[in-house]
A and B are shown apart, each in its own frame.
Chain A
Amino acid sequence: MYRLSRLKYVFPIGLFVCLFLDGSLSHVWAPLFFRYPYSMASELVILWLVLSYFFENGIEIPLIPFAIAAGVVADVYISGILGLYMVLFPCIVALTRLLAHYFNPSFLTNIMIFFIDIVVFATVNYWAYSLVGITSVGFGDYLAFSLAPTLALNLVYFVVLYWPIRALYSWATTEKTV
């Protein structure tokens, strides 16, 4: 039961801390993230959502509503352009669910699913923004200078944070507060 577990607090707090950390880290490490011609987008929110799905341990977290909430906040506060993240975050959760059916859970399959999630997320993001006219970068440049560094960064996040978050979730899911 989600309502009775510690996850009730751990999951939403973690989600919004990740959302704000994305912005703060991009600000603090801007010389590293946005060094020309490369630009990396930090996607800790997606990492948190995907890992929450992997580690929820039978407790069904209402991931989609929370993903929509995080998306609305990201749209309004961080990017200022409405309509993208509020749809894309829940889609990524759904995609993770869909893919997870086909694989046995292990570190390697999890990282592969996360890899696909980031590729889809970044590509849809690029496609939507170029349709609306926010960016005019060519597809080849996008692949080389935006997608590749973004993937590198987020896979490093994944490898570094996989075990700490798993430990956090096993603590939050096993002992239950009354």
Chain B
Amino acid sequence: MQKFFSNRRLVIIVVILVVCFGLMAGSVTLRNRRNTPPLIQQFGNDIVGFADSAVALPVNWLQTSFSSVNDLMNTYSENRELKQQVTELAQTKVRDQTLAHENQQLKRELKLGKSMTDYDTVTAAVLTRTPSSWQQQLVINKGQSSGIKKNMPVMSDGGLVGRIVEVNKTNSKVELLSDTNEASSRFAISIGGSNDQLVNGIITGYNADRNELVMGQVSSKAKIKKGTKVVTSGMGGVTPKGLYVGKVARIGKDDYGLAQKVYITPASNFNDINIVTVAESTAQE
């Protein structure tokens, strides 16, 4: 045992440790800074992505077939409920079309180009999830070649779920809002307050304990009601305006009692995501 830490061995171990931590710290910072990972890494990711789909697709297929059997069980009651909603939906749809048309006309008259509410979507399937307690991250099967870029917002079940953090040619990584990484959940959002006042702010954190998103440092005096819908505000330029985030669950004070803190129940379940929609703002063009 005394020979175990001989000089040479010790040096090698220390060198390996230093290289390791250097790589880790380096890749974390590079990842935050660069738009795409280095070419070699991208290439590797693409090849592994193909191999992965050979395993992921059958597993996903199995899960879908199990859940469809499950769905079949409560088809009747669901159908009854949905029929009611469909009649309302037709009316809303027609109204939505008319409004969108009117909006376009008005924009044209004002000589306004695309605004933050215009966005294209890319639909992708989830391949895998990082098997780790420390990262809430998904790999999806669309990448640069489908027009996905870093920092685009990702939605599922109609609600915001996360953000693109790494883009390869044919797959990309999505960091969920539930990740503890500080950059992952910073989305600009707005809530309708009293007297038609809009309360703007950003998501500052995630409370895993109660599954609530936190919007901190709200200094506006406007009263916010429980159950108000929260949407992205389009500020910052990357995220389009009007993506559904969730509903206001409760309102509290921050630690110093000066500003308000708004707790938001997210619209989608972060642990049940199979198909995601990546929203790409078309306003810049």
Contact = CB atoms under 8 A, between A and B. Distances in A.
Nearest to B58: A24
Contacts of A43: 131
Contacts of B51: 16, 20
Given A135-B134, A135-B180, A81 B27 contact: yes
A80 B23 CA distance: 11
Interface string A46-84: 000000000000000000000000000100111111111
Contact of B271 (A16, A34, A136): A34
Interface stretch (B40-48, B86-94, B154-162, B240-248): B40-48
B55 A131 contact: no
Nearest to B17: A87
A79 B135 contact: yes
Given A77-B48, A81-B27, A39 B16 contact: no
Interface residues of B, number: 53
A142 B269 CA distance: 24
Interface in B45-62: 45, 48-49, 51-52, 54-56, 59-60, 62
A126 B131 contact: no
A82 B161 CA distance: 25
Contacts of A128: 20-21, 24
B28 to A, nearest CB: 6
Given A30-B129, A134-B135, A77 B49 contact: yes
Interface string A34-46: 1111011111000
Contacts of B209: 36-37
A31 interface: yes
A26 interface: yes
Contact of B130 (A23, A126, A146): A23
A77 B52 contact: yes
B31 interface: yes
A23 B128 contact: yes
A82 B128 contact: no
B213 to A, nearest CB: 14
Q: Which of B16, B63, B130 has the most CB of A within 10 A?
A: B130
Nearest to B175: A80
A78 B20 CA distance: 17
Given A23-B128, A78-B131, A83 B59 contact: no
11 contacts: A24-B55, A27-B60, A30-B272, A39-B133, A80-B165, A81-B28, A82-B26, A126-B133, A126-B134, A128-B20, A134-B134
